Amino acid sequence: MAEIVTIGVIAAKTKIDNPWVDHRGAAGGVLTEVPPIAPYMLLRSDGETDFIFAGTTELPLHAAETAHYRDNLAGQLKIWVVLRPHEVHGIELIAATIAPYEGEAFAETIGDIVEPVPMPEIIEAKLRQFYETNHVEREFFKRKRKEFDKDALGRRGIVRGET
């Protein structure tokens, strides 16, 4: 069973003093109601930082990942936003997730910006309800090692006297 939550993402572009890069991108937050505006529109600016609407993305909730959601619910509730530098717009929305281990996996991509942002209460309520409805506790099963079989490697003893 799967459920989908659609969110809007705000990105922050902060000007920096660097000879190779003119700004630093970061996740600025998420919106539970997606505004009827195009991606990359400027929402507000304070002179140093521009907050732009990075676009919309989906947070799929899968019943098989409820143990991961439980770990998110047990700590500070976060949504991991994945952004990537973009030549034209400065920053591009790639994905978002509420599964902490998926967020950690996204962080392994060089060049991507992966940042956790606070989870809005509306999404927290949906996540808790989905977890309570779909979670099935699975017993931890550790496999036992088999005895080493030295003959299984296919090595044979050397026969002396044969050429």
> In this predicted structure, what is the pLDDT of residue 64?
85
Q: pLDDT tens digit string along 8-38? A: 999 998 888 888 878 888 899 999 998 899 9
Q: What's the domain count of the chain?
A: 1
- Whether 161 is covered by a domain: the verdict is no
**Of residues 35, 46, 66, 50, the one with CA closest to residue 130:** 66
Would residue 145 count as lying in a domain?
A: no
- Domain contains 13: yes
In a domain, 52, yes or no: yes
**CB-count exposure of residue 49 (10 Å: 0-12, 13-18, 19+):** middle
With respect to residue 155, please indicate whether it lies within any of the assigned structural domains: no
Say what angle helices 66-74 and 121-134 make with each other, to 10 degrees.
Answer: 130
pLDDT of residue 161: 60
Burial of 80-93, coded b for 16+ CB within 10 Å and e otherwise, reads bbbbeeeeeebbbb
Structure tokens given for 157: 């003893």
15 lies in some domain: yes
The predicted structure's pLDDT at residue 154: 64
pLDDT value, residue 16: 87
Domain that holds residue 23: 2-135
For residue 160, being part of any structural domain is answered with no
Q: Which two tokens stand for residue 64?
A: 């098989």
> Could you read off the pLDDT of 35-94 as tens digits, one per residue?
899 999 999 999 889 899 999 999 999 888 888 888 888 888 999 999 998 887 778 999
Task: Note the pLDDT of residue 1.
Answer: 58
The answer to whether position 117 is within a domain reads yes
